[in-house]
Amino acid sequence: MLQEHIRNIAIIAHVDHGKTTLVDQMLKATHAFRDNQQVEERVLDSNDQERERGITILAKNISIEYNGVKINVIDTPGHADFGGEVERVLKMADGAVLLVDAAEGPMPQTRFVLSHAIAAGLSIMVCINKIDRGGADPEKALNDCLDLMMDLGADDAQLEFSMEHVVYASAVNGFARLDPEDGNGDMLPLMDMIVDSLPAPDVDLDGPLAMQCVTIDHSDYVGRVGIGRIYSGSIHTGDRILVVKNDGSRAMSQVKQLFTFDYLGRRECGEAQAGDIAAVVGVDSTDIGDVYTDPDNPVELEPIEIDPPTLSIVFEPSTSPLVGREGDIVGGRQLKERLEAERENNVTMRIEELPDKTGTEVSGRGILHLSVLMEQMRREGFEFQVGRPRVLFKKDEHGNTVEPVEQAVVECPGEFSGKVIEVFGNSGGAMVSMDAGTTQTHLEFKIPTRGIMGLKNRILNVTHGEAVFYHTFLEYGPYAGELGVRQNGAMISMSTEKAVAYALGTLQERGTLFVEPGTECYEGMLVGERSKPGDMVVNIARTKSLGNQRSSTADIAVQLTPPKTFSLEEALEYIMDDELVEITPRNVRMRKRILNETDRRKWRVRHGMVDK
């Protein structure tokens, strides 16, 4: 039976193609806000980091009422590091809106989310956004979308649906049109097409209850909240339900509270019916993939597999000489408790304490996935240190070691393509395809995840900053052997003092500096990179020795090049195995694991390592 008063749609787009802005305009078009209400832009990006980075990190649900139809909108992350969210939430949708930039066309991470939507059999409507920007070519963008869908194995019905259901929009200016030149000034053509063309949920209203949990929320008051779509039957507050786990184990539970989505919030209700998306309170320790069903007539649904993590990082309490100066929370116990709380909320991460209790290992889908957690913690006032990211290897059925392999895409001017291919070759990458356009060359590679670390900076260097670089997890492949690591040595501070301009002036001739005059440094801290292999211990506080004779000429002021600064992700990719990143609310510093030079030498001798 079709639930004609409900539409469940996912919005699919590459990072920065405007899907969160489009949702803003859909909310305004349906009068979700009062006329005089002050509303922030990108209202769905409620997380501070989502606003600053301009990306969606968490999949979110909202509901819009239009012409008597409830439209449940699922805003999906476009970045592959948050793909754990994408794969699950698409199970709640019956249709999708594919949003594509009219100038850029479909990009690599559009491919990632779109492939899952096609595999789920969703009807896909195309929305060509930003038709008013310079260089926009809506017709080419649409053709590229259809070509991409064919490449991803869309069937004839999906392709035909997408060809017939196209909207041209400018989300920033608040209009959608059936033809780019028709002059319409509101979003109603988009809303009409969603209601009239995307399929309504086809469900069994009178059947036994079947609901699958695809997203977990957490409340300090009620614990875990299971969010998912009801496939058949209905669920009521107070119902006794059977909970079937992914591993087949079963347990009884009771629905204490029930919510459905209402614009940007949730509304408590006594009943939710098949076809709708609901949030259930009362299932203890509920997890992704749990099926809530009728105890007397249980329904089986396919289990949900979450892609395994590919990278792990160890979090430790800070041992820096400057610990406690910038953060309020520095203890190991508080760090462990914070990470255990994250384990409750974030099911796509694996968080385990090390056997020797010295730290906590956090495993995720990529550097960005892990750095978002670190950034959140430093904003909460934590000071801690982390080691170099470690790729997680596995054994295949034959006992051979396999490692995560990524699909990497680079678009750059043709004259730099040779240099880009060389950089990938040195990092264990293999070119899959090359498409030379009139201005840009499109290159695709397969490369081990280990080789991705630090690669973006090298590509930007050889292309003079003109390359666009994306990568997504592809598969587990054969172990690629040892890969090249950082070639140049580090400049390491020999003392705990503030950096002095005179000392830095002499050091900048030996390499690249990371600090400027007045920067608080400590023994063992990385203050620069040498232009040669091998580490070098330096004095960053050396001053000019003053005699009792006047100089025949006035002292020439030291001319310093601005220091190289690192974002958190860049620092994680830069460090070596014997180094750490120290993270505080105000600074990201890199340091040696063993701060004292004499102790480092003893450690190297003890482990049979000889200094270069």
Structure tokens at 396: 């295949």
Q: What is the pLDDT of residue 386?
A: 94
Residue ranges and CATH numbers for the domains of the chain are: 6-197 (3.40.50.300), 210-293 (2.40.30.10), 397-478 (3.30.70.240)
47 is in an annotated binding site: no
Long-range contacts of 243-251 (CB under 8 A, 24+ apart): 243/283, 243/286, 243/290, 243/291, 243/292, 244/290, 244/291, 244/293, 244/298, 244/300, 245/287, 245/289, 245/290, 246/287, 246/288, 246/289, 246/290, 246/303, 246/304
Q: Is 599 part of any known ligand binding site?
A: no
| Spatial distance between the Cα atoms of 145 and 111, rounded to a whole number of angstroms | 9
Give the model's pLDDT for residue 522: 94
Q: Rounded distance, CA 581 to CA 561, Å?
A: 24
Q: What is the structure's pLDDT at 184? A: 85
228 is in an annotated binding site: no
Does 364 carry a binding-site annotation?
A: no
Q: Cα separation of 230 and 578, whole Å?
A: 51
Residue 94, annotated as binding a ligand: no
Please name the helix (run of DSSP H) or strand (run of DSSP E) that holds residue 112, with its range, or none. Answer: helix 108-119
Q: Given this model, what pLDDT does residue 408 score? A: 85
Measured CA to CA, the distance from residue 443 to residue 411 in angstroms comes to 6
119's torsion region: left (phi>0), alpha (psi -120 to 50) or beta? alpha
Residues 513, 507: Cα–Cα separation, whole Å: 8
Task: Render pLDDT for 41-93 as a digit per residue (tens, 0 to 9).
Answer: 433 434 444 334 433 333 457 888 888 899 988 876 644 444 455 667 788 88
The series of mean pLDDT values per 10 residues for the chain, 612 residues long, is 86 73 81 45 41 40 86 68 60 88 78 80 91 86 90 90 92 88 86 91 88 79 83 90 86 89 81 88 82 89 77 92 89 90 77 89 84 89 92 85 86 89 89 82 88 82 84 82 78 93 90 92 94 91 72 59 88 89 93 92 80 48
Is 564 a known ligand-binding residue? no
> Do residues 409 and 447 make contact, with C-beta atoms less than 8 angstroms apart?
no
Say how many Å lie between the first and final Cα of the chain, rounded. Answer: 74
Q: According to the annotation, is 17 in a ligand binding site?
A: yes
Tens digit of each residue's pLDDT (9 = 90 or more) over 550-568:
554 444 567 888 999 988 8
Name the average pLDDT for the chain.
83
The answer to the question of whether 129 is labelled as a binding residue is yes
* Cα–Cα distance measured from residue 41 to residue 374, given in angstroms and rounded to the nearest whole number: 25
How many residues comprise the chain? Answer: 612
Instruction: Give the span between the Cα atoms of 159 and 120, in whole angstroms.
Output: 14
- 140 annotated among ligand-binding-site residues: no
pLDDT for res 16: 67
20 labelled binding-site residue = yes
Distance of CA 598 to the CA centre of its chain: 40
